[in-house]
Amino acid sequence: MREVTYYPGCSLHGTAREYDESFRGVSKLLDVSLHELEDWTCCGSTSAHCSDEALSVALPVRNLRIAEKHNREMVVPCVACYSRFKAAEAGAKEHPEYLPSPYEAKVSVRYALDFFCDAAMIEKLKEKVVKPLTGLKVACYYGCLAVRPPELTGVKQYENPEHMDRLMEMLGAEAVPWSYKTDCCGASLVMTRTDIVVNLSQRILSMALEAGADCIVTGCTMCHANLDTRQAGLPAEGGRNAIPVLYFTEAMGLAMGHKETGKWLGRHVTDPIKALSDKGLL
């Protein structure tokens, strides 16, 4: 049993509820014991780093200091929170004056996708795949913050990442090659400049359809929300004008035969259940 601290962040307690449920579900099947960070607060997200640098360091560091009390690594499924934690680690080192007392960054912060792509976890996952996703073509969509900035994420192949593709292939799916893996969906502009987000998201959706994918797989709550909910008016491609968007943890749950997968997928706005049932996977 591997013990880790779990920082859910605000989205996983709200609109990304199925990401929280599926992350918890697959962690349990992989003998990972999650301890939710006690009394966590928001990482500050886009709004803090767009408003003030010191604030964007102080808010994540409050959580990191709590995490430091435990001798465990901290796993973060929301890539936007993860990015703020990594930026705050660097910011606290470069600008100690932003904080009332020094922060030494003793806790290891891991993005959930990277965590599950570790060799040891992959070995464990191999044993647990009972319903391989045979015949399912997936477009792995990493988005921005899972890979950029590379000096914070440590991802070497930041222009054409492949780790999620390999994870999906390990689950039995076919990861299609396409060139929009790390293009931006517009993220939090969805509230203020919805037109931009619809434009950017639909370009990504269209390219995934053109690449012949049955579904998109992602590990970002903002990307998921934008791609899942902004499909109205999407031009038809090969007779299809909609494409389901799964969290990678849902795909893992599906391949591991987690009994609640249907419940997680039922929370999506663009229905994934029909496409997966047609393939005999659900």
Partner 1 sequence: MIRQIQYGRREKVLTCGSIWICASCHTCSVRCPNDIDFAHVMDALRHIALRSGIGVGEPSIPVFHKAFLDSIKGTGRIHELSLILRYKLKTRDFLKDAGLGWQMFRRGKIKVLPQGFTGGKEVREIFNAYEKGATR
Residues interacting with partner 1, by CB under 8 A? 10-11, 13-17, 39-42, 44-55, 58-59, 62, 97-98, 100, 144-145, 148-150, 158-159, 182-184, 186-189, 191-194, 196, 229, 266-269
C-beta closer to partner 1: residue 27 or 201: 201
C-beta closer to partner 1: residue 78 or 215: 78
What burial letters (b/e) apply to 194-222, b meaning 16+ CB within 10 Å?
eeebbebbbebbbbbbebebbbbbbbbbb
Count the neighbouring beta carbons within 10 Å of the beta carbon of residue 95.
Answer: 12
The CA distance from 168 to 98, in Å, is 41
Report, in Å, the least distance between residue 85 CB and partner 1. Answer: 15
C-beta closer to partner 1: residue 133 or 144: 144
* Residues 134/261, Cβ–Cβ less than 8 Å: no
* Residues 186/196, Cβ–Cβ less than 8 Å: yes
Report, in Å, the least distance between residue 173 CB and partner 1. Answer: 24
C-beta closer to partner 1: residue 44 or 253: 44
Report, in Å, the least distance between residue 243 CB and partner 1. Answer: 17
Three-state DSSP class for residue 118: coil
Q: For the chain, how many residues are written?
A: 282
Tell which residue, 146, 63, 150, has the closest CA to residue 105: 63
Report, in Å, the least distance between residue 16 CB and partner 1. Answer: 8
C-beta closer to partner 1: residue 49 or 72: 49
Report, in Å, the least distance between residue 100 CB and partner 1. Answer: 8
Query: 185: which 2 tokens?
Result: 């969906």
